Amino acid sequence: MIMKSQAKVLTLTFILLLFLASFQVEIRPAKCISVEMKVNRVVWGNNIDNPIEAHPGDKRVPLTVEVQNLSPNRTIKGVSAVLKLQNSPFTDIYGKLEATATGRLAVGEAIRPADEIQPKSFFTLTFTLNIDDDAVPGTYIQPMTINYWVKSKNEYVEGLPQNLSVKIVISKIESNIRVNVSPRVIVEGEYVRVTGSINPAPKNATITLAYIGPKRAVNRKVKVNIDGTFSDSFKPDINGTWNLNASWPGNVRYKGSWASVSFEVRPIASISIITSSNRIFGGSDNEFTVTIINDGKIPISALDASLYLPYPLVVHGRESWRIECLNTGDNSSIKFVIFAPDSSIGSTYTGKFEVNYRDIYGEKHSKRFTLGLIVVGRVELILYEESIRPQPVCNGSKFKFSAALLNRGTVSAMHVNVSIWPSSILHLTSESKTYIGEIEENSQSPFTVEARVREDVSNGTYPITIRISYRDDQHVDREFNVTFPLEVIAVKSARMSNVKKSIFPLYLEDILTPIIVLAASIIITLLYRRRIIQREKSGLMEEGR
């Protein structure tokens, strides 16, 4: 009995299972409906109408994909998507190679008419991605699968998944150039120093520096250092405003960039000075002149000049002066008096002459000049007790000029020479000049020079020049002239029209006199010796007898 009961139960169970299997086959789901879609726009950011850029190394960046329902009559809802990221520099925020996103409706939510995506309308999918640090900027095409539900009569059925392609753009990294010029205002002939940097610092980059001036442009290329800095120096050759453009075209990873700065090149403002001398005389006042010259290329104004001299030099009067303006090429002289005591003779002193002024741009300038002053002794030779003998003098005769030289200076006069300067009425002789040598300070030395008046000189008064030369304590040869009048009386007739006179007799007295004296002395000596010899012979003859 028991066995039969068990058999009946198994039989009924088997029949029930067959019935259930037959029932499941009968309730198979309806066939999936396909709705065509297309990707309309792909942007980085949450707002499809306000996109941002994404760069290598960016993290948690939203990527929004706008998709259009192309069906003319099918309404969809419950949209979700899977973005496949294999073979790309992208991952989701968890490092996976797939990213998911949902449309307006999520699977399992209550059906609301407002959530439906009508035919021909748009919906968006937003994925959150990480971008690899070493990603290469460019366009990447990644597959995306969209799952959805389709409205069929009064219910929604599962739609056939749509496989679409998404174009994702990684932008180059923004680069930023900074450039600076120092100084911003220079004068012609000076250099400007250019410094700058690129951030982020690219490797092996080259910057183009374009110097653009008035009717002039110069391009230079400089290498960027490993830290992104660069530098250059430039000497403009034209006055005016210059612009410096620093640019970099970028590379595969970074965008190019550029920056600009300007600087001004002004004409030079410059002054120089000329001094009357670098020597001053000890023991006396010395007139001194400093001439300020505007040797620049622009007018200058408000010149304040100051003089600084060391002890024991003394300036009589003011030591500062004001000059209102000097145009280009103009000059102005400042005169003053310097006193140096006797004790400073032989010494050297350094003074300063300082000038402060403004240029036409209002810029202040200051220039300091060094005055090297040597205090020297003074030689002051004067003539006194002059006399001319005879006065008047006959033509054809000698005359003598006598005087004394007094040194009223503070040092000796060396190598003093006095001579009668050549004249058309004179015949000069060896006595027409004399060498005195040294005349010490506060000492005198008399001298006499003479000359002969030519025989053909007529009556009259003629100027005769005496030249005096010497050497001072600075080994500088100096000279001065003294002129006196010579009155001539003509006592000998010229007779130059009838007889040709020889000039030899004019020198006869000067030349032959010592010769005649010498000859007479020789003759007398010979006669004297001859007389002695004769006496000696006569004495010997008397002894022989």
* pLDDT, tens digit (0-9, with 9 covering 90-100), for 495-522: 443 444 444 444 455 566 667 757 767 8
539 lies in some domain? no
533 lies in some domain? no
425 lies in some domain? yes
User: Do 88 and 164 have their domain in common?
Assistant: yes
pLDDT tens digits, 431-441: 999 999 999 99
Q: What is the pLDDT of residue 114?
A: 52
**Domains in the chain, number:** 4
Q: What is the pLDDT of residue 107?
A: 36
* Domain hosting residue 73, numbered range: 37-170
User: Do 201 and 156 have their domain in common?
Assistant: no
User: Do 372 and 462 have their domain in common?
Assistant: no
Q: What is the pLDDT of residue 537?
A: 64
**pLDDT over 90 at 288, yes or no:** yes
User: Do 260 and 277 have their domain in common?
Assistant: no
413 lies in some domain? yes
> Which residues have C-beta within 8 Å of that of residue 243, sequence separation ≥ 6?
211, 212, 213, 260, 261, 262
CATH for 193? 2.60.40.1930
User: Do 163 and 196 have their domain in common?
Assistant: no
User: Do 159 and 72 have their domain in common?
Assistant: yes
> Which residues have C-beta within 8 Å of that of residue 222, sequence separation ≥ 6?
206, 207, 209, 230, 231, 232
**Is residue 42 classed as helix, strand or coil in its secondary structure?**
strand
User: Do 42 and 131 have their domain in common?
Assistant: yes
**pLDDT over 90 at 428, yes or no:** yes
User: Do 226 and 289 have their domain in common?
Assistant: no
CATH for 149? 2.60.40.10
512 lies in some domain? no
**pLDDT over 90 at 280, yes or no:** yes
Residue holding tokens 């060498």?
Answer: 435
154 lies in some domain? yes
**pLDDT over 90 at 50, yes or no:** yes
Of 334, 349, 376, the last residue of a domain is 376
Of 120, 142, 170, the last residue of a domain is 170
Question: Average pLDDT for residues 396-414, to the nearest whole number?
Answer: 94
pTM beyond 0.85:
no
pLDDT tens digits, 109-164: 344 455 789 999 999 999 999 999 999 999 999 999 999 999 988 889 999 999 99
User: Do 100 and 139 have their domain in common?
Assistant: yes
Q: What is the pLDDT of residue 9?
A: 53
Question: Average pLDDT for residues 289-299, to the nearest whole number?
Answer: 95
Q: Mean pLDDT in the chain?
A: 87
The whole-angstrom separation of Cα 57 and Cα 89 is: 10
Q: What is the pLDDT of residue 104?
A: 57
The whole-angstrom separation of Cα 358 and Cα 139 is: 63
Of 460, 489, 518, the last residue of a domain is 489
Q: Are the C-beta atoms of residues 59 and 90 closer than 8 Å to each other? A: no
323 lies in some domain? yes
User: Do 138 and 180 have their domain in common?
Assistant: no
124 lies in some domain? yes
**pLDDT over 70 at 315, yes or no:** yes
User: Do 280 and 223 have their domain in common?
Assistant: no
User: Do 309 and 385 have their domain in common?
Assistant: no
